[in-house]
Structure 1
Amino acid sequence: MNDARDGVRQVKNSRTLDVGARAGFVASGMLHLLIGYLALRVAFHKSGKNPDQSGALATLAQNGAGKALLIVFVVGFVALALWQLARVFIAAEVKDRFQSGALVVIYLTMGWSALSFARGKGRSSRSTSTDFTATVMKQSGGRWLVAIIGLVIIGVGIYHVQKGIRTRFMEELREHPGTAITWSGRVGYAAKGIALGIVGVLFVVAAAKHRSSHASGLDGALSALQRATGGQLLLTLMGLGLAAFGVYSLARVRFGRV
């Protein structure tokens, strides 16, 4: 068992995986910057594109250079998934293993989405969420499962907000990145947490009303903000917050602990 863990540590600490994971930080940073930009354009009625991951990927996939960049993103996200998978086996605490396991799924999903758009077969987050929810709710106890998924997403959102407010993200860094990056992390994690919380609420509402169309991803959350009182201001703040998370993610290329 110890030999196996030592082997996993060697892979985790390899130069190849280090470079790949940092490429993943670049991919995450650029995506969040682009999502923030799209959110700001929607807030000021200058764009009809979805202000979410699928909208950002679709924007990049419009030309050959963007598609080539998406392939780099795929490599980066797969590397991040492998890095987190290694942490599943060597982490000392159960909560760290669970968190890393969840991130494996998230990064693989992001990598698959990037590959799909690079191949011209990408789908919007809203369609994916709606189809998934509809399929689940057709099963026995499906509404309860959708509600539970929503509550889990809300919990993840609360965790992100706390991580930002209490600067727990500093544990991800090997050295202090400076005041500007620290505030980018604080604002970015809080904004992402709020957005995830809204996504979770939409899933719970979909389960309560038995309407899969209510379930949505980030685009649905930002649309909900836009429809609220002071929607333009709220969506603007959210766009800036997600862009701040993008800045923090890019800073992890230099300061991140891999």
Structure 2
Amino acid sequence: MRQAADAAENATNSRTLELLARAGFAASGILHLLVGAIAIRLATGGTGNADFSGAVAELASQPAGPFLLWASFAACAALALWQTSDAIFDYNRLPTKEKAGKKAKAAAQALVFAGLALTLMSFARGTGSGVDNQQAASDLTASVMKAPGGVALLVLLGVGIAVTGVVYGIRGLRKSFEKHLTMPASPTSRKAVTVLGMTGYVAKGIVLLLTGLLIAVAALSAHPEESTGLDGGLRALRDQPFGVYLLAAVGAGLICYGAYMIVRARLARMTQ
């Protein structure tokens, strides 16, 4: 068993997988760029679905759509596998509390990138759809609410996503994301990376906070139609006073986050 575990660890730490995993950061960055662009389009009166399904649909509509989808799928799947390896094999020499936190974070990241990979694969196979994602989110919420303990589960999920949003915002303001990067030597480049990271993390934090609150409120009020996912959260922001400007600002922030993730593909410290 020990030999099998060592072989699996060596395989997941290979240079080839590392390069693909780095490409996963870039693929995620491109999707965030597209979500941000769609958000700005909504703020200016345009149409679109400002979530990852909508972003993948936009990617699929490009001339090289099938290639981009499969390449992005492979990159995100590799990053999910890399994070899974971190959750299983890494951090074992750390104190118990710190080890548990880092392993949990790696596992959560693995789930996020696995979800992106599955979305990309569904579009690449022609079974995905970027249409009516708000309704799909509402229907899923309604189904979960009917299950035993479903309301409590949704509240916990919503609170968890909202708290994650707050953590993202704090991480951006404190610049704590920098410890995961090998920062460039040039002061100008370092400042650019820092500004992109700060702006991007705060914007993503706002989006996650809105999404989580919508899920929790929908569960507590027994109105599943209020749980409308990322796209619904951004549209809800647009409906607030000065919402058009707020939505455009968040969209610009998501574009910054996307640019940061593309930079992270090059600068990330893959072993902590």
TM-score, normalised by the number of residues in structure 1: 0.94
CA distance in 2, matches of 1:11, 1:190: 35
Larger CA deviation: 241-250 vs 21-30: 21-30
**In the alignment, what sits opposite 1:73?**
72
CA distance in 2, matches of 1:62, 1:9: 38
| Residue of structure 2 aligned with 1:144, choices 132, 149, 152 | 152
| Structure 2 unaligned blocks of 5 or more | 93-98
Contact in 2 for aligned 1:181/1:247 (Cα 8 Å): no
Aligned length: 257
Deviations 1:200-252 (A, max 9, x none): 10011111221211112211111011000001110011001000000100101
State the AA in 1 paired with 2:129.
R
Larger CA deviation: 197-206 vs 13-22: 13-22
| Residue of structure 1 aligned with 2:214, choices 189, 202, 205 | 202
Shift of 1:150: 0.5
Shift of 1:126: 2.4
**In the alignment, what sits opposite 2:24?**
24
CA distance in 2, matches of 1:60, 1:217: 20
Contact in 1 for aligned 2:183/2:190 (Cα 8 Å): no
Larger CA deviation: 118-127 vs 29-38: 118-127
| Residue of structure 1 aligned with 2:196, choices 184, 189, 202 | 184
Q: Within 5 Å, which residues of 2 pair with 1:9-158?
A: 9-45=9-45, 47-89=46-88, 90-92=90-92, 93-124=99-130, 125-158=133-166
State the AA in 2 paired with 1:161.
G
CA distance in 2, matches of 1:156, 1:116: 27
Percent of aligned pairs sharing the same letter: 38
**In the alignment, what sits opposite 1:167?**
175
Deviations 1:71-128 (A, max 9, x none): 1110011001011001002124100100111111111110111111222222344244
| Structure 1 unaligned blocks of 5 or more | none
Contact in 2 for aligned 1:35/1:51 (Cα 8 Å): yes
CA distance in 2, matches of 1:227, 1:190: 20
State the AA in 2 paired with 1:103.
Q
Runs of 4+ in 1 over 6 A off after TM superposition: none
Shift of 1:194: 0.9
**In the alignment, what sits opposite 1:235?**
247
CA distance in 2, matches of 1:189, 1:122: 28
Contact in 2 for aligned 1:154/1:198 (Cα 8 Å): yes
**In the alignment, what sits opposite 2:236?**
224
Deviations 1:41-93 (A, max 9, x none): 11111x21111211111112125511210111100110010110010021241
Deviations 1:11-62 (A, max 9, x none): 34311111111111111111111111111111111x2111121111111212
For 2:147, what is the secondary structure of its paired residue?
coil
Larger CA deviation: 59-68 vs 31-40: 59-68
Deviations 1:162-209 (A, max 9, x none): 111111111221234610111100110111011000001001111122
State the AA in 2 paired with 1:131.
D
Distance 1:123 1:209, change over 3 A: farther
State the AA in 2 paired with 1:23.
A
State the AA in 2 paired with 1:155.
V
State the AA in 2 paired with 1:121.
T
CA distance in 2, matches of 1:186, 1:2: 42
Distance 1:162 1:213, change over 3 A: same
State the AA in 2 paired with 1:229.
P
CA distance in 2, matches of 1:9, 1:161: 33
For 1:178, what is the secondary structure of its paired residue?
helix
CA distance in 2, matches of 1:131, 1:255: 40
